[in-house]
Structure 1
Amino acid sequence: MLKKNIQFCFFFLCSIIIHGQSSPDFNILADKAFQKLYQNPDDCINYSLSILISDQNIEHRIVLRNIISQAYAMNGDYVKSVNISSQKDEAGEKEKLSYFMQVFANYNLADQYQNLDLYNQSQRIISNLLTDKNLLKSDNIKIKTTVAKLYQLQALNFGIKRNYNAALENLKKSNNYLGFDNEENLILGVENKVILSSYLMRQNRLEDAKHILENTLIFVESRTNYNFLQALIYENLARYYFLKGNYKTSIENLEKGLSKIENNQFYSLRVKFYESLAKNYFALHNDEKYQYNNKLYIEIRTKIDTSAKEGIRYIVRLVENNQNENLEFQQQNESKQFWIITLIFSSIIIILIIYLFTAKSTNNDLKKQSEFFEKQKKWQETHRANLPKEVIPEKTIEKDSNKISKEKENEILQKLNEWEQFDFYLNKNMSLSTLSAQMGVNTKYLSEVINTNKGKNFNGYINELRINHIAHLLKTNPAFLNYKVSYLAEFSGFSSHSAFTTVFKSITGMSPNAYIQEISKNRTS
């Protein structure tokens, strides 16, 4: 999602195209269109369209359409973004574009795919371009900046796949192609720093990320017309303070960032602000402001997602209609139909195998689901009462009397039951030693009591509390049904989306998405 917040830097590449290829008059007009992009995307669109109508230079028109395309993307209108970017001039189709413009066109397609979350398609184009040795060795400033953008885009793709080491390596390569001798390169460098700080936070290197963001903010505030960049940095600083549990300071940074773009739409960035504000107010138990910001987040998120889906359908149709002109389809040959048929039959076989495999485990899953919903009823009653539970051991295990006395065991159980009434187990850093310190109990004793009376080890015990808690919220708070599974995982204290999904299914017998669908169905019925 970070890529969608920083699309604007694409246009510095467009500005570079202008230098050395365009007339001075067009340079001035394009620069003005470029400046309007940061002030108001709608004004930028209207202004650029007025130039596009009268300018018949093919490469000028490509530049203008790319500026307009990204203005639409910044407003979350991906259908119009794809539409204007894909338009061609019939007379220009016969003209041979320069090498750079051909590279630029392929980069633009990769960028469009990235906007629409089609990361594999984007990566195929990038990988193909970066195998061109002439491209990588060129001393031309336009080519070098293009390569910097390609490595940046590849870094974002690696980040989406959680391969942060590879992402950081590609950011370094991107910086190596930047000369920092003009505004375009300076902005790309700022953009790389923001992306870098985001990935450092995901690696739990919070202080390193904060240091980079604060220094970058000082630099950006010394420039003019950098409001969008300032907003982007404030949004990332807010994320740092949220992860540190300093929710009030996080909100202050979000409000500063929003004030920078209050007179513009910028929906692709604005949606991140409302999501973060909702998270912070939720953490502060300010239900009124949480509901307000969550409503704004859902409204804009729904609008953007709907637009993205339509954009995907549109770009797929375009690719199908222009297979021979798109980079990723150049390797296709006359055996295409054969491979399509083969793929269809292979898919059918795979589906049958999956069906047989899942059918085998369905009974077990249904049994587990039934047991979980029964446990949920009891858990909710106990949780609502806010009283210590009477512990009934799941197993009867003979204990060595030398280890812990019955009196001590009951005392620890009492403390555990009281501790369970709060949400401290949602802390991602919760460990056996942390819990023993909080309760003032010997670690070995605490571990023994959990193993004996809860029927599982410490990690299993904490994970079950987390799953019960989030399952309860999904059932009782409709707002949680609108959250992504990745946020539910983070909210519950899990280190990753996959770990949350695995544990959730092992406890409930169904995936988080299936559980959400089941709850939603019961609400509407």
Structure 2
Amino acid sequence: MPGIPKENQYNRNDLPQKILKSNTWILFFILLFSIFIPGQSAPDFSISTDKAFQKLYQNPDECISYSQSLLISDKNPEHKIILRKIISQAYALQGNYVQAVNISNQKEEGGQKEKASHFIQLFGDYNLADQYQNLGLYDQSKKIIARILADRELLKSSHLKERMTLAKLFQLQAINAGVTRNYEVALQYLDKSDQYLHFDGHNEEKRILGQENIIFRATFLMKLNKLEESKKLLDTVIQDIENHGDNAFLSAFAHESMSRYFFIKEEYATAVKYLDQGFSKIEKLPYHDIKVIFYELYSKNYLALNNDEKYHYYNNLYTDQKTKIDSSKKEGIQSIVKLVETYHRKNIEFQRQRKLSQLRLTVTLILFLILATAVYFVYESGKNKDLKKQLGFFENLKERENAIQAPKTEIQKVNKNQEKDSSKISKEKEDEILQKLKEWEETDSYLNRNMSISVLSAQTGINTKYLSEVINTHKEKNFNAYINELRINHVAHLLKTDPAYLNYKVSYLAEHSGFSSHGAFTNVFKSVTGMSPNTYIQEIIKNKRS
């Protein structure tokens, strides 16, 4: 044998049988390991995916390139779904929602069909809920997550990857609750998310998710008017982010949240300072989605500072970038239909093992919701983001209206019985429609300039005939008058409670409220309040001085 001194060489036949058998088994197990455990080992993959997740918050382009190189060489199906999700998140941060959806829907080459593991099923559900949220389909996202979190056995899981996914799901549900102004509930979901992040060991993904939870928590506290508690959290997390290096996105996110605190405090110059610090982190990076938020906040602060030049500059940037993002979201809606079809095709066997009847109901419901939402996004355009303030405004307004109109409403209910019977709307159905209208009013969707009864039907899942009848009966007005009154009540409340709006031009207030022109806004404002916008503003200023 080469490399062995001649005097030490011996015949294979001279080897003891025990050694031959031992070597044969060793070779067999090595071969078996190489066949059934291809690609990176678990520890190597954990390190690699943690690095990929960290790059997600440093530079999305680098994250995509790095993660795709891992995806090519790794054959493990669980690894692949995690890597695709990281790439999808990177595209979403760029504002490229079509690619974000498509990478999640990518099929395996060769059409291999493998039985989905419990983790793959869970992660697929999480991915779909996250995609819905990215596209603004919060109700669909919330329903998927609620179904997952109803599994008590899953919530007891000690599986590390499953616990990390549960932490992300609770974070998503917190955001969904925040969108509908349920800030106390949102904080409870963040508490649960933090609980699932408490496990032995340390990695970047765990740290980053924890920092995100702190920023979201500060935002919800701010909405609850707990300003100093919110600021204390933001000061801490900003320092923590800076101590851990170059997480550009997280730093921008934290500074953007801090600027909102100073905007509420009417310290607009300081708010701009924090915007500058945050924007400098991402200015040369393709985080287009969060840049839209920065442009809008810049324009609002400079408007309050009476700097028309910078207001118009940033408002134009906001409008241009928002148009591109909205267009991408509309295309993403079309792509996600295919994602849902693939999602259900891959997991049908898993679902059948649980409850076949539930599967059929879920498939039907999801497809219906997607089609209804697609109709909504055909009509949806314009500004509809981050202009939601004053928790409980509409609830208080409704209480005041009910206090005045309660007797009249009771009379109407008696007088309208025959009409309701003829239209065949049951009392239960009518109450359900009124509840859905109440929830819809809290979303401020009526500020959309293209709002119509068809769009409202798509958003609430109520047909136009029932909507029209209930609005005419219970709101005592037709659809257009109903929408216009909601808009005027909204802007009137902002003028009365937020001093910054007293400095805005009437044309800006008209645009913000969803009116197509200054004149239309003025006419409707006067018909609702009994005075012109300028007179109303002067009355508020006069009352504040006195």
Tell me whether 1:318 sits opposite 2:431 in the alignment.
Answer: no
How many positions carry a matched residue from both structures?
A: 380
Tell me the equivalent position of 2:96. Answer: 77
Question: In 2, are the aligned partners of 1:231 and 1:257 still within 8 Å (CA)?
Answer: yes
Q: Is the 8 A contact 1:319 1:326 kept in 2?
A: no
From 130, 150, 156, the equivalent of 2:175 is 156
Partner of residue 39, structure 1: 58
Q: How far apart in 2 are the matches of 1:147 and 1:23?
A: 20
Alignment partner of 1:331: what SS? helix
1:187 matched to 2:208? The reply is yes
Matched, 1:57 2:85: no
Aligned with residue 177 of structure 1, among 180, 196, 213: 196
Match of 1:256 in 2: 277
**1:424-458, CA deviations, whole angstroms, 9 ceiling, x for partnerless residues?**
9935178xxxxxxxxxxxxxxxxxxxxxxxxxxxx
The correspondence for 1:271, drawn from 292, 309, 315, is 292
Tell me the amino acid that sits aligned with residue 265 of structure 2: K
CA contact (8 A) 1:171 1:192 kept: yes
Residues 1:428 and 2:428 are matched in the alignment: no
Which position in structure 1 is the counterpart of 2:506?
473
Offset from partner CA, 1:322-373 (integer Å, 9 cap, x none): 5455699953269969x98xx999989943344456679669988xx9xxx9
1:228 offset after TM fit, Å?
A: 1.9
Deviation at 1:22, TM superposition (A): 3.8
**Residue type of the partner of 2:497?**
K
Corresponding residue of 2:542: none
8 A Cα contact 2:472 2:479, kept in partner: no
Indicate if the aligned counterparts of 1:33 and 1:48 stay in contact, CA closer than 8 A. yes
1:73 Cα deviation after fit: 0.1
Matched, 1:243 2:312: no
> Cα 1:197–1:334, aligned 2, differ >3 Å: closer, same or farther?
closer
Structure 2 contact 468–479 (Cα < 8 Å) conserved = no
The answer on whether the counterparts of 1:76 and 1:267 sit within 8 Å (CA) in structure 2 is yes
Distance 2:506 2:274 in 1: 28
Q: Percent identity at matched positions?
A: 48
Distance 1:356 1:124 in 2: 28
1:482 Cα deviation after fit:
5.3
Q: In the alignment, what sits opposite 2:226?
A: 205
Residues 482 and 266 of structure 1: CA distance in aligned 2, closer, same or farther (over 3 Å): farther
1:219-239 alpha-carbon deviations (Å, 9 max, x no partner): 221112222211111111100
User: In 1, Cα distance between the equivalents of 2:100 and 2:467?
Assistant: 38
How many Å separate the matches in 2 of 1:280 and 1:429? Answer: 13
Deviates more, 1:227-236 or 1:75-84: 227-236
CA contact (8 A) 1:324 1:330 kept: no
CA distance in 2, matches of 1:349, 1:63: 38
CA contact (8 A) 2:102 2:339 kept: no
- Map 1:396-415 to 2 at 5 A: none
Report whether the alignment pairs 1:99 with 2:99.
no
228-237 vs 177-186, greater mean Cα deviation: 177-186
Aligned to 1:218: 239
CA 1:485–1:58: 2 relative to 1, 3 Å:
same
CA contact (8 A) 1:251 1:280 kept: yes
* Equivalent residue number for residue 331 of structure 1: 359
Query: What's the CA shift for 1:481?
Result: 5.9
- Read off the aligned partner of 2:246 and give its amino acid letter: N
Residue ranges of structure 2 left out of the alignment (5+ in a row): 1-38, 352-356, 373-423, 426-456, 516-520, 534-546
Q: Is the CA contact 1:58–1:92 (under 8 Å) kept in the aligned structure 2?
A: no
Code of the aligned partner of 1:121: Q
Opposite residue 95 of structure 2, the aligned amino acid is: G
> What amino acid sits opposite 1:167 in the alignment?
A
User: Which deviates further from its counterpart, 210-219 or 183-192?
Assistant: 183-192
- Shift of residue 484 of structure 1? 6.6
Choose from 287, 297, 305 the match for 2:326.
Answer: 305
* 2:318 is the counterpart of 1:285: no
Letter in 1 for 2:122: V
Cα distance, 1:256 vs structure 2: 0.3
Equivalent residue number for residue 464 of structure 2: 351
Deviation of 1:88 (Å): 2.3
Secondary structure of residue in 2 paired with 1:139 = coil
Native 8 Å contact 1:72 1:80 kept in 2: yes
Q: Residue 39 of structure 1 aligns to a residue in which SS? A: coil
Aligned to 1:398: none
Q: List per-residue Cα deviations over 1:458-517 (Å, max 9, x = no partner).
A: xxxxxxxx89x97x713xx5xx5654769xxxxxxxxxxxxx9xx9697179xx9xxxxx
Aligned counterparts of 2:53 and 2:334: Cα–Cα separation in 1: 29
TM-score (norm 1): 0.63
Cross-structure match for 2:446: none
* Aligned equivalents of 1:76, 1:261: Cα separation in 2: 14
2:188 alignment partner AA: E
Q: 1:505 to 1:85 in 2, by over 3 A?
A: farther
Contact 2:64 2:87 in 1 (8 A): yes
Q: TM-score, normalised by structure 2?
A: 0.61
Partner of 2:184: 165
* CA RMSD between the two structures: 4.2
In structure 1, stretches of 5+ residues that fail to align are 1-19, 374-422, 431-465, 487-499, 513-525
Q: CA deviation at 1:244?
A: 0.1
Give the aligned partner of residue 3 of structure 2. none
Distance change >3 Å, CA 140–CA 76, structure 1 → 2 = same
Assess, with a 3 A threshold, how the Cα gap between structure 1 residues 144 and 92 changes in structure 2: closer, same or farther: farther
> Do 2:57 and 2:250's aligned partners in 1 also have CA atoms closer than 8 Å?
no
SS of the equivalent of 1:282 reads helix
Distance in 2 between the 1:172 and 1:334 partners? 29
1:303-325, CA deviations, whole angstroms, 9 ceiling, x for partnerless residues? 11111111112212432565455
Contact 2:98 2:331 in 1 (8 A): yes
Task: Provide Cα deviations, 1:395-433, integer angstroms capped at 9, x if missing partner.
Answer: xxxxxxxxxxxxxxxxxxxxxxxxxxxx99935178xxx
Deviation at 1:96, TM superposition (A): 2.2
Letter in 2 for 1:426: L
